[in-house]
Amino acid sequence: MAIPEALARLAALLDGQGARWYLFGAQAAIIHGASRLSADIDVTVEVPLEALDPFVAALASGGFPARVRDVAAFVRETRVIPLVDAASGVPVDVVLAGAGPEEPFLARAQRVSLGEATISAAIMVDAQELDQPVCSDPDDDKFIACGSLEVLSSW
């Protein structure tokens, strides 16, 4: 499977940058026991905008080049850095954390083992604690409300 290996490489790079981050979306839902099909990796990362260029350069030199030509313009419009794992072709979307629902997830992100790698994953957060909807996908909201890390070893 390409996704666990790509995630392990990405985790090493993000940890090496000293960034607070967490895995979310379908891959996090899978870790928490949901049945989902997805061929990409979604992470949220806390990176100051003034550090964006060196952060993107470090990811590119570590094997995760951007999927768009003008990263800065794309980030200004979307707060997303679209990357690809050069080794596997797995798409990676890095969402820049901002004020709002990301903070509780960053604060509660749990380090979990995934094979030989350690990743930072969003954990259960009661949606009532947040002032706004968390996910656009109702299945992701279910994992946030009732997740479990018991399935990690089978992923």
Domain count, the chain: 1
User: Would residue 155 count as lying in a domain?
Assistant: no
**What is the reported pLDDT for 108?**
83
For each of the chain's 155 residues, which pLDDT tens digit applies?
588 899 889 999 999 999 898 888 777 766 666 666 677 899 999 998 899 999 999 999 999 999 999 999 999 899 999 999 999 999 999 999 987 778 888 888 888 887 778 888 877 554 444 444 444 444 444 444 333 333 333 33
Do 7 and 121 touch, CB atoms closer than 8 A?
Answer: no
**What is the reported pLDDT for 27?**
75
Our measurement of the distance from residue 23's CA atom to the centroid of its chain's CA atoms, rounded to an integer in Å, reads: 3
User: What's the pTM?
Assistant: 0.73
**What is the reported pLDDT for 15?**
92
Do 78 and 27 touch, CB atoms closer than 8 A?
Answer: no
Range of the domain at 98: 2-148
- CATH number of the domain bearing residue 12: 3.30.460
User: Would residue 154 count as lying in a domain?
Assistant: no
Query: Taking all residues of the chain, what is their mean pLDDT, rounded to a whole number?
Result: 78
